[in-house]
Amino acid sequence: MSSFLPFALPLLGEDEITEVTDTLRSGWLTTGPKTAQFEKDFGAFIGADYALAVNSATSGLHLALEAVGVGKGDKVITTTNTFTATAEVIRYLGADPILVDIDPKTFNIDPNEIRKIADKHENIKAIMPVHFAGQSCEMDAIREIANENNWKIVEDAAHALPTTWQGKMIGTLSDITVYSFYVTKTIATGEGGMIVSNNEDYIKRMKVMRLHGISRDAFDRYTSDKPAWFYEIIAPGYKYNMTDIAASLGIHQLKKAHAFQERREWMAKQYNEAFADLPATTPFVAHPDDMHAWHLYVLQLELESLTINRDQFIELMAEEKIGTSVHFIPLHLHPYWRDRYDFKPDDFPVALDVFNRAVSLPIYPKMTDDDVKRVIDTVTKILKVHTK
């Protein structure tokens, strides 16, 4: 009997294990030299002037919005097709999200929809595009709209390492960009994230707010060979710093980011070829010359040609012991967002239709070629059996 194939697993090697062991033996477990090294390496990898490690992408987005001046009564534009973290950080600051529908092909935020609402709201401070599944949003159009309206751009790049837009790395195109290293992401530190920016003032603010609003890092104070106990609280900050244990994983995961991407891209091509003649739509790649991170592989079931719906398909995959997921349940369908802003399901018709058809298949470097074939064979069997 086949064993269960999870939807996602990290790929960790001896380099990561050795680095973590070295950190444990060093006695310095929280934010310290390994975190500083990871920040330096990550900034160089992206081509950004500054990088700041945090304990999650959620905390990174919170710090980013606070740094660009989002506050009570302000509004931030983002997509309904995302995880709640993208929007909840807006509420942390007393601001309100303005949700926008998505492009029916890429499932990214639709710049045409942004333009439609640009003049309908006051106090818009920023726009937060989400690079869905690892494919870049249309950043030229988004930047044009932002510049016209004097909005800041904070990119949610949780899916987007190492994604490019017109040959440039995501992370070099806007005011602030935030990455995720959650265990299922393209590189993994268990929990963790990274903020990148070319704006020194934003980085300085976020560095202070990352750790309680303290004027000096603990590492600087506790490793000094002279009395360095004094510090000042200069803002009501948060507790968002990364540990050296997590950074130890990140140092080596980052070195493998391109190899991981190549493996996921190969898997996506196998899926695309295998599913081409089935009643399902494979992911659309808008700009083939750019790098797609392939964090997710989202198949759209052509329900009109099937005798099962998306939920039944997922159940049948589970019966075959293959894990799947759905990305995403649109925000406007969740009770908190729905009730607070009086959303109706068809307020965002594209996102609603995509949600009803979408299923995410396993696509991660730890999968073997046999695992990939197993997914292909199982999807093919289910869809052929249930074709009208």
Q: Determine the average pLDDT of the residues in 124-136.
A: 98
- Clarify whether residues 316 and 207 are in a common domain: no
On whether both 213 and 292 belong to a single domain, the answer is no
The pLDDT assigned to 224 comes to: 63
Shared domain for 211 and 303, answered yes or no, is: no
Percent of the chain with pLDDT over 90: 94
pLDDT category at 226 given cuts 50, 70, 90 is confident
What is the spatial distance between Cα 177 and Cα 203, in angstroms, rounded to a whole number?
11
Asked, for residue 359, whether it belongs to a domain, the answer is yes
**DSSP bridge pairs for 196:** 51, 177
Note if 381 is an active site residue.
Answer: no
Cβ(79)–Cβ(100) below 8 Å: yes
Strand partners, 185: none
- CATH number of the domain encompassing residue 92: 3.40.640.10
Residue 1 lies in a domain: no
Write down the catalytic residue from 34, 75, 152, 185. Answer: 185
Q: 277 and 209, same structural domain?
A: no
Q: Which of 196, 229, 257 is the last residue of a domain?
A: 257
Domain of residue 337 covers 258-385
What is the tally of structural domains in the chain?
A: 2
Is a pLDDT exceeding 60 seen at residue 189?
yes
Euclidean distance between CA atoms 90 and 338, whole angstroms: 16
231-256 confidence digits (pLDDT tens): 899 999 999 999 999 999 999 999 99
> Does residue 221 have a pLDDT over 70?
no
Task: Summarize pLDDT for 45-69 with one digit per residue, the tens.
Answer: 999 999 999 999 999 999 999 999 9
Is residue 291, in this structure, part of any structural domain at all?
yes
Cβ atoms of residues 175 and 199 within 8 Å: yes
What residue type is 231 in one-letter code?
A: Y
